[in-house]
């Protein structure tokens, strides 16, 4: 089971590197979308907690 996990991690790393090398513009867009999603989620949690305190 541990070997399968290691192989999957290596395959995922190779895919990420391939994507960055072959299309850096698209990779940057995907990272930006991911960070925007995380930022929006954190802001929503903050708003929720603020409303609970009121």
Chain position carrying tokens 């999603």: 37
pLDDT at position 32 is 95
**Contact indicator for 32, 39 with CB cutoff of 8 Å:** no
| Full-model pTM | 0.58
pLDDT tens-digit readout, 13-40: 998 888 889 998 988 898 899 999 999 9
């Amino acid at each position: 089971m541990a070997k399968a996990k290691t192989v999957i991690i290596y395959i995922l790393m190779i895919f990420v590197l391939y994507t960055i090398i072959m299309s850096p513009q698209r990779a940057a867009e995907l990272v930006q979308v991911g960070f925007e999603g995380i930022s929006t989620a954190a802001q929503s949690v903050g708003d929720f907690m603020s409303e609970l305190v009121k």
